[in-house]
Amino acid sequence: MAQVKTIGEAVRNMSVLMANMYYHLTKAVIEDFGDEAKESFKRAIIEFGHERGRNIAKNVLDAGLPLTLENLDKFYDIPIAEGWDLHRSYENDMKMNVTDSCTFATVWLEKNWAEVGHIYCLIDIAIREGYSSNVKFCPVKNILEGDPHCQSLTVYRDISKKGQ
């Protein structure tokens, strides 16, 4: 077993393995079944994201807390802040996020797999949809599309329903 010194190092190591698994899995299936398989990957990523979001919401509600943007991060199912180079701020009932580097993107860019790797980014939208129908994730920039960093806004669809 690999020896790691920090949670961040462990998260990054697992992320490299996960990104490589995604690459090899998607590559083999697309080679065998063609580009139409990309739609299946989209569906699977969205279903996976919805499941993760529902599980996070359950943990928040079980703790007796509202489904806020802050609680989504507080109860997130992986210690993403430990493994990614990200900056978050919460203002005016929205969350702004900038991720300077993404372990997944680094792997997929090295393998010339940005287009199919970008399908995985649907997970961010789907997690929020699963967490609360009132929370919307809005991607602004993405490393896999040639931007220098990933940037997003997460907002409430209806501020009067904040926490639902």
Question: What is the chain's alpha carbon radius of gyration, rounded to the nearest angstrom?
Answer: 16
Q: Residues 71-100: pLDDT tens digits? A: 999 999 988 777 778 899 999 999 999 999
Distance of CA 97 to the CA centre of its chain: 12
Residues paired with 155 in a beta bridge: 94, 136
Q: Residues 8-41: pLDDT tens digits? A: 888 889 999 999 999 999 999 999 999 999 999 9
Give the pTM: 0.93
CATH architecture of the region 7-161? 2-Layer Sandwich (3.30)
Distance CA(115)–CA(3), nearest Å, equals 33
Q: Are 98 and 87 in contact (CB under 8 A)?
A: yes
Distance CA(101)–CA(110), nearest Å, equals 14
Q: Are 23 and 117 in contact (CB under 8 A)?
A: yes
Q: Are 125 and 137 in contact (CB under 8 A)?
A: yes
Distance of CA 7 to the CA centre of its chain: 18
Locate 115 and state its tokens.
């287009």
Distance CA(112)–CA(11), nearest Å, equals 23
* pLDDT score recorded for residue 80: 79
